[in-house]
Amino acid sequence: MTCTDFLAKLTDFFDGTVPPALMIEVEQHIAECKHCEVVLDSTTKTINIYRNSEIYDFPPELQQRLESAIMTRCCGPRDSTK
C-alpha cells in the first residue's frame, strides 16, 4: 500500500468501513510509514478537538430570546398572565 492508497482509505478508516483484508494492509502501512502515522494521529486529534469544543457562545440569554421569538412567530404572543 502506498501513502496515496492510505489517504484514499482514510475516510473509510474513520467510518470503520474498511474491509478486514484491506485493514491489515492499512495497519501494516501505518506501522511502516511515520508520515502516515502522524497524519492519522493529527487528523484524529483535529476531529476530536472540533467535536469537543463549543467554539461559538450560546449563552442562556440568547437561547431564551430565540426560543421566545420562535414560539411567538409560530404560535402568536403568549398570555403572560398565565
Partner 1 sequence: MQHLFPMPAIQSPESESIQPEEIHPDVALVARAKDGDTSAFEQLVRQYDRQIFRVAQHITQNREDAEDITQDVFFKAYQKLDQFQGNSKFSTWLVRIAVNESLMRLRKRKTSKTVSMDEDVHTEEGSIPRDFAEWRPNPEQLYGQGELSEILRKTIQGLPPGFRTVFTLRDVENLSTEETAEALGLSVPAVKSRLLRARLQLRERLSRYFKQSNPLQALEGKSR
5 contacts partner 1 (rule: CB under 8 A): no
Residue 40 CB partners (closer than 8 Å, separation 6+): 10, 13, 30
27 contacts partner 1 (rule: CB under 8 A): yes
Instruction: Give the dihedral sign, CA 26/27/28/33.
Output: positive
According to CB under 8 A, which one of 1, 16, 22, 82 is a site residue for partner 1?
A: 16
Build a one-symbol-per-residue string for 44-73: x at contacts with partner 1 by CB under 8 A, - elsewhere. Answer: xxxxxxxxxxxxx-x---xx--xx-xxx-x
Distance, CA of 19 to CA of 1 (rounded, Å): 14
In the complex, which residues of this chain contact partner 1 (CB under 8 A)? Answer: 7, 10-16, 20, 23, 26-28, 30-31, 34-35, 38-56, 58, 62-63, 66-67, 69-71, 73-75
